[in-house]
Structure 1
């Protein structure tokens, strides 16, 4: 949804539509019951099973959320980045341990970015993802940003109708749960993208120790893994850059949800916790502190929604909006989560309280898909601001 006038370019409307509000309400109701922090926290004591597979099945097969960005001709919903941003915001709010960002955003966007050149090759796989019958991921380091050079960790050897891939990629999102891998690789220095099925030989993923236990990372090892080529040198680099830009833009919405929940948890504590016979929230210093955080969140909300709207509209401002959202919202999320923990006093530092979960999610997400300083540098370049 946009507004326009003859003298000005279209301006995205940042207020959610009725459809987006309904999606948010339905998802929040489900997650409040199925992904409350009291359910998420015990999973960190059993690190072998951090994912909530039953909830993921509900989100994908019953609600169809995995297919939001997939066109209807492939069995998806044909929705836009605005709807995906709403989903990510609520998943971030509840720290839901499901591979939505990896599968429904990054891998899906990468595959669609290779269309129409690879449309016949990806149609069946996209239908599987849309139906919730499979999960995919993008086989790059979770810290790789849109401004980075095309990764060369995986080398390809062409043969027959496909290619065999060899290499090691660390810090891959949800690699241990993926049925499909979208793998960037190089042949004689030229960039390519390929699709790998994890059930074949030569594919192994080993879980890493990560700061955020609700979002596992894995090291992916490929040793002569058979793959189907999705894109060659004329498409691969641009497709990967667009995918990472989209991921960074929508990750900002997830960070917003995390920050909002951390803030609301702190405000509730200030309202109900008493000291010296008065609610903590009645002390002026704490009220001013909460007001500053609320102001930051209002700016973060507008920034994240603008980035999602630009992605949905394929706006010329999209790269700039994505860089701004990735840098600005990530920093606000970290600050809000940390301040929320401090406002809780001693109890906020205990394992039994959820404050540390929001801090870990915010901090790990702030360096995902590019660090804030890299995004600020990109933002300066887009805005023609000299950088020393």
Structure 2
């Protein structure tokens, strides 16, 4: 074998099966436990009740997810109080949260919030321990946003931040907000602790199970998580993580929508036969299954690569974003149509999933946006 061919064989990219791609016994047990818990405490009727009142989620279920399922500490290194697992395990959690249409702040706080605070885990005043304990809720501003207007200045006891940050997922109840602010020496990522008198304005959004708010602060105490020369890299990794997280969530949504639709097609009678026995319906359900498997393969592959090295997983994450977004939008539309007249009512469960899919698309970009990233990454 020539030296050139040997180099190609030994090259770590692309990899057909990175470690963590195939679910192990712990991941299977995690999935079963979480599905059982959410099936008991987070069915569609319960979700709709809690999203219409209070903070928009169930504090009791959130406490259970933190204490019994360790959603906040699962992918945090052991030296910082975590369990030391990675994004492959987070992918399992997010898939199940998608299936259950979970409105608790798993995506915003347990995933993005904790990982953002890990950018500077030893920084004085970093609220990571309280966020891991579930006592404080964190959220992260859109990492590619150009609409945020924050300015940071050093004060006698640390940094102070002024300005407005918009479209914060869970911003109405967040205790910690991670956002970028312009300092004298450049752009930095900060963890803000908004005071009780900070101005919060709830936004009207399509998906009521994932509230958003705008936040205006004045001389807000903050902890610097990055230096100007590291901000871009940290933001890029967190943006990829957000894309990956919603790809996994969309995979779980497709799984649940297919399950609901197959069940309906097997019981709904037309012309004396279940509609699932008609060839046209069978083909559409088969196409949904293919979409599910494509999404599952793309999201799990990206999660396995991200666990090894976030920077080398950028292409896989962009592919997962495109594939899973396309598949989820397709599955939601098919679920509504194949449920017939009842599926077109807003009260049907399919519409709640449809809204979440569109909300995810707005949060991290549609399939065209992800394909543009793919083209840029491969130099097309």
State which of 17, 36, 43 in structure 1 corresponds to 2:43. 36
Q: TM-score, normalised by structure 2?
A: 0.91
1:25 aligned partner:
32
* Residue-by-residue CA offset, 1:275-303 (whole Å, 9 max, x unaligned): 11000000000101111111111111100
CA contact (8 A) 1:263 1:293 kept: yes
For 2:81 and 2:54, the matched residues in 1 are separated by 33
For 2:290 and 2:222, the matched residues in 1 are separated by 49
For 1:274 and 1:299, the matched residues in 2 are separated by 31
RMSD of equivalent CA atoms: 2.0
1:113 aligns with 2:119: yes
CA contact (8 A) 1:41 1:354 kept: no
Cα deviation, residue 182, structure 1: 1.6
1:255 aligned partner:
250
For 1:330 and 1:292, the matched residues in 2 are separated by 15
Gaps of 5+ in 2: 1-7
For 1:276 and 1:332, the matched residues in 2 are separated by 31
CA contact (8 A) 2:119 2:225 kept: no
State which of 163, 175, 178 in structure 2 corresponds to 1:182. 178
Secondary structure of the 2:205 match is coil
CA contact (8 A) 2:123 2:225 kept: no
Cα deviation, residue 55, structure 1: 0.4
State which of 75, 82, 98 in structure 1 corresponds to 2:81. 75
Cα deviation, residue 380, structure 1: 0.7
Cα deviation, residue 188, structure 1: 4.0
1:156 aligned partner:
152
2:5 aligned partner:
none
Change (3 A) 1:269 1:348: same
Q: Which has the higher contact order (CA 8 A, sep 6+)?
A: 1
* Residue-by-residue CA offset, 1:105-153 (whole Å, 9 max, x unaligned): 11211121235xxx24266x22222222221111x23xx54xx66x651
**1:8-157 pair list within 5 angstroms:** 8-9=11-12, 10=15, 11-13=17-19, 14-44=21-51, 46-115=52-121, 119-121=122-124, 125-138=127-140, 140-141=141-142, 144-145=143-144, 153-157=149-153
State which of 292, 306, 322 in structure 1 corresponds to 2:287. 292
Gaps of 5+ in 1: none
For 1:315 and 1:91, the matched residues in 2 are separated by 23
CA contact (8 A) 1:76 1:127 kept: no
Aligned residues between the structures: 369
State which of 226, 232, 244 in structure 2 corresponds to 1:231. 226
Q: Where in structure 1 do 4 or more consecutive aligned residues deviate above 3 Å?
A: 5-8
1:364 aligns with 2:366: no
15-24 or 177-186, which deviates more: 177-186
